[in-house]
Amino acid sequence: MTVPMTVSMTVPMTVPMTVPPSARTVRVEPCMGTVFSFDIRDPGDWTGAVADVVAWLHRVDRIFSTYRPDSDVSRLQRREIRLADADLLVAEVLDRCADLEIATGGHFSARRDGRIDPTGLVKGWAVEAASRRLRAHGAADHAVNGGGDVQLAGEPEPGREWTVGVADPHRPGRILATVRGRDLAVATSGTAERGAHVLDPFTGRPVTHLASATVTGPDLSTVDAYATAAFVLGRSALPWVDGLPGYAALLVDLDGRQHASAAWPG
């Protein structure tokens, strides 16, 4: 789904391996105008499970892409169909968007130029749902990365947490910070890759007061929306995130200075 989305600059770092290579399944799949990767650390043959998840992601693309004229969202935007006529996933995502708009005080929104546009949530929501589907297949320990937004499940090897690197928005290829955890999600909103494309829902103007905002928490759909809201809020996002149990944020100014919420590791 080649759609305007919150650009994430979060990339998984290599974790030291103590399990045999045969116990690791890795798959990369282009979809939604980005690249999804799957890293399963449970031993076994996960070919069928990954194929099921990949097929589901492409179904999501066909439903939500604003660049496909035949997608449900495109047809809704042109008022060719009603919400009741669209795939049930559309109502699910719009309901989630409405909840997150309330939770962020309107700083995350699924409306753009008077039209519904849930694409700011779809990628993170899809990654989180893909992780749930892998769990349903029995893969308890895995990482799903969709264009840099990461949902982690279990652990990469017994007794070790996943390690995720947050890229420096001012220096491509450099890792700014790392976070570790189990059952963790990480998402970043910023300008490094696509410029000032995130709009303030209240003014309609591009947000330009930060270079990036990274948020961590348990579920990626929420984390992704919170990262967008934090980017829009700027430094005032920190006390807001401090009031969200289980979530943490790291903000990077245009001059490279960093500002972390109280729960940010290190």
- Residues 84-103 have pLDDT tens digits of 999 999 999 999 999 999 99
Angle at 222 between CA 214 and CA 174, to 5 degrees: 20
What pLDDT was estimated at residue 2? 33
pLDDT at residue 6 tops 70: no
Query: Looking at the domain 10-260, which fold is it?
Result: T-fold (3.10.520)
Give pTM, 2 decimals.
0.89
Q: Which spans in 5-118 are helix H?
A: 47-64, 72-77, 88-103
For residues 174 and 176, what is the distance between their CA atoms, to the nearest angstrom? 6
**Residue 43 and residue 141 in contact, taking contact as beta carbons nearer than 8 Å:** no
Q: Could you give the percent of the chain with pLDDT greater than 70?
A: 89
Residue 162, both tokens: 């996943």
Q: How many CB atoms lie within 10 A of CB 182?
A: 13
- The residue written with tokens 């749902």 in the block is 129
- Under the banding of pLDDT at 50, 70 and 90, the label for residue 213 is very high
For residues 157 and 170, what is the distance between their CA atoms, to the nearest angstrom? 33
Mean pLDDT calculated for residue range 233-253? 97
Q: What is the DSSP letter of 43?
A: S
What pLDDT was estimated at residue 172? 86
- Under the banding of pLDDT at 50, 70 and 90, the label for residue 18 is very low
pLDDT at residue 17 tops 90: no
pLDDT at residue 221 tops 90: yes
